Chains A and B, each alone.
Chain A
Amino acid sequence: MSRYRIEVDLMLCQGHGVCTEECPEIFEVVDMETGYPKVRVRDDMPDESLRSKVQDAVNYCPNRTIRIVEIE
Chain B
Amino acid sequence: MTSPEGTAPAAAGDIPFVSGARPPGEGGHFEEFSAHPAYFLLRAYRECGELAEFDMGGMNTVLMVGPEAHEAVFRADDVKVSAREAYQFMVPIFGKGIQYGAPLDIERQQLRMHSRGLASEKMNFYAPVIAQEARDWIAGWGDSGEMDFYEGFADLTIKTSTHCLLGPEFRYSLTDEFASLYHTLGAAADAGGLQDPGAKKAAYEARDQARARLEELITERVDKRRESGKVEPDLLQVYMDATYADGSHLTTSEIAGMIVWFMFAGHHTSANTAAWVLVELARNPELAQAVVAEIDRTLEATSGEFDLKSLRRMSITEGFIRETLRVHPPLNTLTRRVIEDFEYKGHIIEKGKNVMLSPYVAHRLEAEFPDAEKFDPYRPNPENPFALIPFGGGQRKCVGNAFAMLQVKVIFAVLLEEYEFELAGPPDTYAEIMPSLILRPSDPCVLKYRRRNKQGSA
Segment among B40-48, B61-69, B117-125 that sits at the interface with chain A = B117-125
Determine whether the beta carbon of B402 is less than 8 Å from that of A62: yes
Determine whether the beta carbon of A21 is less than 8 Å from that of B112: no
> What is the chain A residue whose CB lies nearest that of B399?
A14
Determine whether the beta carbon of B402 is less than 8 Å from that of A15: no
Whether B309 sits at the interface, judged by CB under 8 Å, is: yes
Whether B105 sits at the interface, judged by CB under 8 Å, is: yes
Per-residue contact bits, chain A 5-17, to B (CB 8 Å; 1 contact, 0 not)? 0000001101111
Q: How far is the CB of A55 from chain B (nearest CB, A)?
A: 13
Determine whether the beta carbon of B112 is less than 8 Å from that of A63: no
Residue numbers in A under 8 Å from B120 (CB-CB): 16-18, 20-21
Task: Report Cα–Cα, A37/B399, bound state, in Å.
Answer: 12
| Consensus secondary structure, chain A interface | loop
Determine whether the beta carbon of B399 is less than 8 Å from that of A17: no
| Consensus secondary structure, chain B interface | helix
Say whether, besides A11-B75, A17-B121, A34-B108, A63 and B115 are in contact (CB < 8 Å): no
Determine whether the beta carbon of A34 is less than 8 Å from that of B105: yes
Determine whether the beta carbon of B308 is less than 8 Å from that of A21: yes
Determine whether the beta carbon of B401 is less than 8 Å from that of A36: no
Q: How far is the CB of A12 from chain B (nearest CB, A)?
A: 7
Say whether, besides A21-B120, A34-B108, A15 and B397 are in contact (CB < 8 Å): no
Residue numbers in B under 8 Å from A31 (CB-CB): 112
Residue numbers in B under 8 Å from A15 (CB-CB): 112, 115, 119
Residue numbers in B under 8 Å from A35 (CB-CB): 108, 111-112, 395
Task: Report Cα–Cα, A44/B349, bound state, in Å.
Answer: 40
Task: Report Cα–Cα, A52/B402, bound state, in Å.
Answer: 22
Determine whether the beta carbon of A64 is less than 8 Å from that of B395: no
Task: Report Cα–Cα, A42/B309, bound state, in Å.
Answer: 22
Residue numbers in A under 8 Å from B118 (CB-CB): 16
Whether B226 sits at the interface, judged by CB under 8 Å, is: no
Residue numbers in B under 8 Å from A33 (CB-CB): 245
Residue numbers in A under 8 Å from B405 (CB-CB): 62
Determine whether the beta carbon of B108 is less than 8 Å from that of A16: no
Interface size classification for chain A: 20 to 34
Task: Report Cα–Cα, A22/B395, bound state, in Å.
Answer: 23
Question: Interface size (B, Cβ < 8 Å)?
Answer: 26
Determine whether the beta carbon of A63 is less than 8 Å from that of B401: yes
Whether B297 sits at the interface, judged by CB under 8 Å, is: no
Determine whether the beta carbon of B112 is less than 8 Å from that of A12: no
Whether B425 sits at the interface, judged by CB under 8 Å, is: no
Per-residue contact bits, chain A 40-53, to B (CB 8 Å; 1 contact, 0 not)? 00000000000000
Task: Report Cα–Cα, A33/B385, bound state, in Å.
Answer: 26
Per-residue contact bits, chain B 390-414, to A (CB 8 Å; 1 contact, 0 not)? 0001110101011001000000000
Say whether, besides A16-B118, A17-B121, A37-B115, A11 and B402 are in contact (CB < 8 Å): no
| Most central of A22, A33, A34, A62 by chain B CB within 10 Å | A62
> What is the chain B residue whose CB lies nearest that of A17?
B120
Residue numbers in B under 8 Å from A17 (CB-CB): 119-121
Determine whether the beta carbon of A64 is less than 8 Å from that of B385: yes
Residue numbers in A under 8 Å from B402 (CB-CB): 16, 18, 62
Q: How far is the CB of A72 from chain B (nearest CB, A)?
A: 20
In B74-123, which residues have CB < 8 Å from any A CB? 75, 105, 108-109, 111-112, 115-116, 118-121
Residue numbers in B under 8 Å from A16 (CB-CB): 115, 118-120, 402
Whether B312 sits at the interface, judged by CB under 8 Å, is: yes
Residue numbers in B under 8 Å from A18 (CB-CB): 120, 312, 402
Determine whether the beta carbon of B108 is less than 8 Å from that of A63: no
Point out the residue from B119, B381, B394, B401 that lies within 8 Å of A11, measured CB to CB.
Answer: B394
Residue numbers in A under 8 Å from B121 (CB-CB): 17, 21
> What is the chain B residue whose CB lies nearest that of A36?
B115
Q: How far is the CB of B384 from chain A (nearest CB, A)?
A: 10
Task: Report Cα–Cα, A22/B245, bound state, in Å.
Answer: 30
Residue numbers in B under 8 Å from A22 (CB-CB): 309
In B106-151, which residues have CB < 8 Å from any A CB? 108-109, 111-112, 115-116, 118-121
Point out the residue from B109, B116, B394 that lies within 8 Å of A12, measured CB to CB.
Answer: B394
If A22-B309, A31-B112 are given as contacts, then 20 extra A-B residue pairs at C-beta distance below 8 Å, sorted by A number, are: A11-B395, A12-B385, A14-B115, A15-B119, A16-B118, A16-B402, A17-B120, A18-B120, A21-B308, A21-B309, A35-B112, A35-B395, A36-B108, A36-B399, A37-B112, A37-B115, A62-B401, A62-B402, A63-B401, A64-B381
13 sample A-B contacts, Cβ–Cβ < 8 Å, listed by A number: A11-B395, A15-B115, A15-B119, A16-B119, A16-B120, A16-B402, A21-B120, A22-B309, A34-B109, A35-B112, A36-B115, A62-B405, A63-B385
- A residues sitting closer than 8 Å to B (CB atoms) are 11-12, 14-18, 20-22, 29, 31, 33-37, 60, 62-64
Which are the 4 A-B pairs with shortest beta-carbon distances?
Answer: A62-B402, A17-B120, A64-B385, A35-B108
